[in-house]
Structures are given as C-alpha cells and as structure tokens.
Amino acid sequence: MKSPYQIAKELKVSPQAVYKRMTDEFNNQYEDHIERAQSGKYKLDAVAEEALKELFNQVKQPLQQHDMQPIEQPTQSLVNQLNTENEFLRVRVEELEAELKVERAHSRGQFDKITELAENLAKLANNAQQLHGADIIPRLSDGGAADAEATNKPSFFARLFGK
C-alpha cells in the first residue's frame, strides 16, 4: 500500500495533483481499495494505485485537421444589426453630452450664487461684530453701572418665593 505522496514521487508530479485527481467519485468507486487513517492520510492498494496512475497516463488526442471548423464570414444582416446598434449608441452619447452641458451650466450658476451668498454672510458677520462691539463700548464708558444694577435685582425665584 502506498500513500498519495509516494505515488506522486513515482509519477513525478506534485502531491497536490494526486490529491486533486482523488475526487469524491474516485474515492467512492475505489472505496474498498483505499484506507484512511485517523490522521487523515490515505493509503492506496495496488488496484487504486493503478487506477490513479491511469488518470495521469490518459493522453489527450491531438486535434485533427478535419475537427476544426472555419469561422463563417459575418452576414450582411449581422453587419446591418451592428450598424444600427452603433448608430443608436452614438445618438445616445450625443444626448448625454447635451444633458451634461446643461448640468454643468446649472452647477456653475449655483456655484456663483453660493459664492455671492458666502460673501454676503461674511459682510453680515463683520457688521454684526462691529455692532456688538459698539454696544459693549458704552457699557465700559459708564463704569459698569448698568451691570451693577442688573446684579442687584433679585432673581426670578427669589421674587417668586419671597426671599
């Protein structure tokens, strides 16, 4: 009894090639001639070994000249069909290019609007900052009297609960 590795060495092929030929069909057909150890390794007796070697020795027949079929020339109907399809695709590409031009023009217009709005937002933020700064300056000039009055007022809860 030989292992698939030993058979591979004899045939001068890789063990992987031998295991590849040992398909389920082969294993089922030669079930009585193959032993499998608990370690998972196979041992083949002489019958299974010969069958496996036969799988490697099968010579494929070379192609005969009469087996080859000449390629048929394309018929006029096939050429017409391809021309029609080609024309349809060309028209579709032109339509898509026109749509793309419209979309690009729309995108440019929206970009211009967004740019204008961003500039206006920057101006508004600057104006708001200037107004807020003008509001702070009078408070600082009266010495913070307005802030002192605001801090002496009782809170809402103090007024509510009478403290």
pLDDT in tens, 88-143: 999 999 999 999 999 999 999 999 999 999 999 999 988 888 887 766 555 555 55
Alpha-carbon span 142 to 117, nearest angstrom: 39
Distances in Å between the Cα of 69 and the Cα atoms of 6, 64, 72, 115 are 44, 11, 9, 68
pTM of the model: 0.35
pLDDT in tens, 21-35: 888 888 888 888 888
Domain boundaries, the chain: 4-57, 76-157+159-163
34, burial (CB in 10 Å: exposed 0-12, middle 13-18, buried 19+): buried
- How big is the CA angle at 140 (ends 123 and 125), to the nearest 5 degrees? 10
